[in-house]
Copies of this chain bind each other. A is one copy, B any other.
């Protein structure tokens, strides 16, 4: 069976630039999906499974819940959520039939995946203007690859962005950051970057640095470079309203902010207080905003993270005024309990209020478009602004950029992180389950806040989470203001932290090579067992193991107090048990079910038959690790080859054949 992609246009879709391939739209009926009143319907067989939808709650198999594409600043990643920060409308149904669907639609989309009726998919947009792509292929992986080719090559970060990074909302000054770096270096725990949250800015103004706490920022960047540390500052979507602040003044002057119906600039509030939101859907505004990153690039910065770009709105000026007016008229002596509830809901409803999203407008090529119609494109286009600017400002150099909010298409410009998770064991598993779904939608450079962002963490949770995190492209420990400090050196068993993070550095040759090949070939990096072993009924059930690249399977421990876990081996594999890069044990296991002991200070993974894993002894930072001699772990019974992708990690000559080497193992 050959892959086929069909494009069907309904109504007058808003152009999202999600798709790069030129396809002619067909007319007539959409295969598989039956249009019924306000929805598309598909009847599910008992065994059908649904995969995809990118960043979302629940399992790898998305069947049984109702999702919503509606980018939101949603820190409660619980099972009852319908939407997180991204909108990724691609899914594959695998069962009695096998096909992929991409709904290129930037408004709110409801995806009832067997929730209301267990045997029915029901997809409901808010209006009928969209491009629908139906993709067929022999296996799920074929469908995914065809889709990925359709949407274009995934973002490739600089190599240093595969190093381990530390972050925390609350590093206030140079000295705070120096202390973190010292904490790592003094304990020989490898690290390559420190992320700077909103604290570094002057009163949360984008493209400013607080001169009191960072008196000579370029000098500090250089000092950190000497320590082999990259500083990665955050950029927020909202631009502070402040007289004399250049970005604000210029944006107003040029008319680059989102506007209310009457043409005045919309006023919301986020970290800086009252802000305007740049109109990233306006090409000129996007170009202008992108150029602003130069302020930091010029000071030696090589990486950024874009935040608050759903956009998050703590309150709008108008709504706050209306709410305060209502409250000030209330007489608490008269209030009954329902009124107090109403009062409370009104106050809590100030944030991310749907009415606010309907009250401002974009200028898309001269057309005024109400925000809610294109809501899901906002974060995407903020990151596109950065990506397009980097292309112009430093065409030959890779710049790190990843975003909280996203839409398919953004995967070409930057990565994502999985947002404001919590220090919960359940979010360690959610981290694993999001990886393949994001990969399906093009997002390869991704990772979760290791150890958990919100709530207080525990030593064992951070360790176990790192044991997954060493495998994710973005490997960052990040925590919220006010929570327990969770830098690796804060805990008792520093030796374990040093060793576990050290394993990341040791495995880099494999991890980087697999990332690059996946990006350059439009393939997934993290693959569910169900995709790799079609027809294997246990593989279809496996929601807590993944293949990572061509050679290995990971199966991290994700429950508290566990000293092991069950693992399913869909074929004979070699178990690798590491306490550190110096302490490696292996054992061959037949296909089947196992309970595998995994101590708190151990990493266990599995090598597939006739596969090779190149590694080194690692180092305290990537440059050091790069210099080490290349070795191999393997499960080869006769002879096998591994194609190693290797480059210096900064340039963009990805296709250079010199980057490919063949490693041969013969036993």
Contact, CB under 8 Å: A458 / B422: no
A32 to B273, CA, bound (A): 54
A320 at the interface (CB under 8 A from B): yes
A460 at the interface (CB under 8 A from B): yes
- Specify which of B79, B341, B456, B594 is in contact with A425 (CB 8 Å cutoff): B79
Contact, CB under 8 Å: B538 / A595: yes
Contact, CB under 8 Å: B344 / A561: no
- Specify which of B343, B350, B424, B568 is in contact with A78 (CB 8 Å cutoff): B424
A606 at the interface (CB under 8 A from B): no
Contact, CB under 8 Å: B563 / A566: no
- Specify which of B271, B423, B538 is in contact with A337 (CB 8 Å cutoff): B271
* Tally of this chain's copies: 2
Known: A566-B593, A593-B594, A594-B593. A330 touches B340 (CB 8 A): no
A15 at the interface (CB under 8 A from B): no
A417 at the interface (CB under 8 A from B): no
Interface residues of A in 46-61 (CB under 8 A from B): 49, 58-59, 61
A367 at the interface (CB under 8 A from B): no
- Specify which of B49, B347, B454 is in contact with A561 (CB 8 Å cutoff): B49
A492 to B119, CA, bound (A): 10
Known: A64-B458, A269-B340, A335-B320. A78 touches B78 (CB 8 A): yes
A227 at the interface (CB under 8 A from B): no
- Specify which of B61, B269, B456, B561 is in contact with A80 (CB 8 Å cutoff): B456
A324 to B115, CA, bound (A): 42
Known: A79-B425, A79-B426. A315 touches B340 (CB 8 A): yes
Interface residues of A in 570-591 (CB under 8 A from B): none
Contact, CB under 8 Å: B80 / A455: yes
Contact, CB under 8 Å: A458 / B78: no
A562 at the interface (CB under 8 A from B): yes
Q: A328-355 toward B: CB 8 Å interface, digit per residue (1/0)?
A: 1010110111001101100110100000
A520 at the interface (CB under 8 A from B): no
A561 to B273, CA, bound (A): 45
A454 to B327, CA, bound (A): 28
Least CB distance, A424 to chain B, in whole angstroms: 4
A456 to B65, CA, bound (A): 10
A543 at the interface (CB under 8 A from B): yes
A335 to B321, CA, bound (A): 11
A595's nearest neighbour on chain B, judged by CB, is B593
A459 at the interface (CB under 8 A from B): yes
A158 at the interface (CB under 8 A from B): no
A63's nearest neighbour on chain B, judged by CB, is B561
What residues of chain B lie closer than 8 Å to A348, measured between beta carbons? Answer: 344, 347-348
A3 at the interface (CB under 8 A from B): no
A314 at the interface (CB under 8 A from B): yes
- Specify which of B63, B78, B270, B332 is in contact with A320 (CB 8 Å cutoff): B332
Least CB distance, A580 to chain B, in whole angstroms: 19
Given contacts A80-B423, A327-B327, 17 further A-B contacts (CB under 8 A): A63-B561, A64-B458, A64-B561, A78-B424, A115-B456, A115-B458, A117-B492, A119-B492, A269-B340, A270-B337, A315-B340, A320-B332, A541-B561, A541-B562, A543-B562, A566-B595, A568-B595
**Chain A interface (Cβ < 8 Å from any Cβ of B):** 49, 58-59, 61, 63-66, 78-80, 115, 117-119, 269-273, 314-315, 320-321, 324, 327-328, 330, 332-333, 335-337, 340-341, 343-344, 347-348, 350, 422-426, 454-456, 458-460, 492-493, 537-538, 541, 543, 559-564, 566, 568, 593-595
Q: Mind listing 26 A-B residue pairs with CB under 8 Å?
A: A59-B561, A65-B560, A78-B424, A79-B424, A80-B422, A80-B455, A80-B456, A115-B456, A115-B458, A118-B492, A269-B337, A271-B337, A314-B337, A314-B341, A320-B332, A321-B333, A324-B327, A324-B330, A327-B327, A328-B328, A340-B350, A343-B347, A348-B348, A541-B564, A568-B595, A593-B593
